[in-house]
Amino acid sequence: MPKQALTDAAVKRVKSPAKGQTDLFDKGYPGLALRVSYGGAKSFGYFYRHGGKFRRMTLGTYPAMTLAGAREAWRQARGVVQSGKDPVGAINRQRSFVAFSSVLEDWLARDQHKNRTEHEIRLKMAKDVLPVWSDRKITEIGKRDVLDVLDAVVDRGAPQTARKLHAYLHRLFKWCVGHGILEVNPVADLDMPAEASKRDRVLTDKELVVAYRRAGDLGFPFGPLVQLLILTGARRGEVGGLRWSEIDLGEGAIKLIGARTKNGEPHRIPLSAPALEVVNEIPRIVGSDFVFSTTNRSSVRGWSKTRKRLGDGDWTIHDIRRTVATGLQKQGVSLQVIEAVLNHVSGSRGGIVGVYQRHSFDEEKAAALEAWGAHVMALVHGSARGKVVAYRRKTLT
């Protein structure tokens, strides 16, 4: 059992095992461990003995639960053990069956442990659901919340994943009704997300300006969030779930670990001068690492309402990402650099090329997004002089 004095930085950068899962025990906190799965999911657990049996209790998933939060939960659970009781029974009856993350763990352990799709369910929940609902009371999650989660997945271009999540959540909430945790299944009357359809919608310059200006009028949290999407071309979930610990103002970049990206690859997003200005104006939420939140405990919800306030037309939030890619192409940015900006590992960076071509393109990405940021600002402020910003393409050797 590997042990070390865990720190926030160590938890953040610990690498996933090649297969299975590994437990890293926190030195000085007997039984407290960080479990890391090969898919990148991380969770805190407490190992203890009760009635002569060795048991593990899930405390919460990272990053929704911080190291400090895990240690506090450990103190509570350990106190219950020292009093001669089983914390899974004592604490879960008081708290865990309320928190979505704990109900999910119980459902997986009791109802899905023999299901061949259990691992896939864990991965998809960890990526798209737990960052939003982890510490929310499951009794407070309604249809609108489910739609927001599914819409977010569809808008990032993954409708098939959204359809799978719909099925998984339906199973989970149906089980909750059967076990007296919920009165109603919020997924029961929700239609399955639409099948995948190819989109090529790109915002016009006028639509882009309207969206950026109206985002400015929205205020926190959705205003700066949408402006960062326009300036970076990042995925909605990446920016919507952004944490202050992922922003390096010294380097002027957002640094995402593989567990926070669609393809599981770490992603460095350079922040242009306009993007840094947006970030520097964002208010900090006391006691929360979330950049954009209304609850202090989870990322924002309510994207469908926000989209309607950004202008007319049939475009979606995900179309902003395609608009950035198209704009970079018009400015002469190479396909390889555009794919690096978007963190795509297919196309020119896929297959055997992706195996041997390990260049990060950090400098090229920064230059491309700086030029794009200047272009957007020229449009927003009505400067005809900057409507086309030249990008000097580097020669790669």
Tell me, what DSSP letter sits at residue 137?
B
What CA–CA distance (Å, rounded) separates 198 from 51? 57
Cβ pair 74, 29 in contact under 8 A: yes
What CA–CA distance (Å, rounded) separates 140 from 168? 18
Does pLDDT of 392 surpass 50? no
CA distances from 282 to 107, 213, 225, 275, 349 (A): 38, 16, 9, 11, 34
pLDDT tens figures, 48-62: 988 888 888 888 778
> Which of residues 355 and 68 earns the better pLDDT score?
68
Cβ pair 50, 92 in contact under 8 A: no
Return the number of other C-beta atoms located less than 10 Å from residue 196's C-beta.
14
In order of start, what are the domains of the chain with their CATH numbers? 3-96 (3.30.160.390), 107-198 (1.10.150.130), 205-386 (1.10.443.10)
What CA–CA distance (Å, rounded) separates 377 from 332? 18
CA distances from 132 to 37, 152, 203 (A): 20, 11, 28
Average pLDDT, the chain: 84
Closest CA to 229 of 217, 301, 311, 241: 241
Q: Please give the average per-residue pLDDT across 246-261, as a whole number.
A: 92
Q: Please give the average per-residue pLDDT across 28-42, as a whole number.
A: 87
Q: At what angle do helices 159-178 and 143-155 cross, to 10 degrees?
A: 160
Does pLDDT of 182 surpass 90? no
Write down the pLDDT at residue 298: 75
What CA–CA distance (Å, rounded) separates 34 from 37? 10
Calculate what percentage of the chain has a pLDDT beyond 70: 88
Write down the pLDDT at residue 225: 97
Q: pTM for the full model?
A: 0.55
Contacts of 142 (CB under 8 A, 6+ apart): 186
What CA–CA distance (Å, rounded) separates 344 from 357? 13
Compute the half-sphere exposure of residue 270: CA atoms within 13 Å on the CB side of its CA. 20
Q: Please give the average per-residue pLDDT across 233-251, as a whole number.
A: 93
pLDDT tens figures, 67-97: 988 898 899 889 888 888 887 755 544 444 5
Tell me, what DSSP letter sits at residue 285?
P
Q: 249 falls in which pLDDT band (50, 70, 90)? A: very high
Residue type, 9: A
Write down the pLDDT at residue 197: 57
What CA–CA distance (Å, rounded) separates 393 from 397? 13
> Which of residues 196 and 156 earns the better pLDDT score?
156
Q: 24 falls in which pLDDT band (50, 70, 90)? A: very high
Residue type, 34: L
Q: Which residue has the tokens 């657990």?
A: 45
Write down the pLDDT at residue 391: 38
Write down the pLDDT at residue 348: 46
Residue type, 336: Q
3-state SS, residue 205: helix
Phi first, then psi, for residue 92 (nearest 5°) are -60, -35
Q: How many residues does the chain have?
A: 397
Q: Which residue has the tokens 């989870």?
A: 298
Write down the pLDDT at residue 89: 59
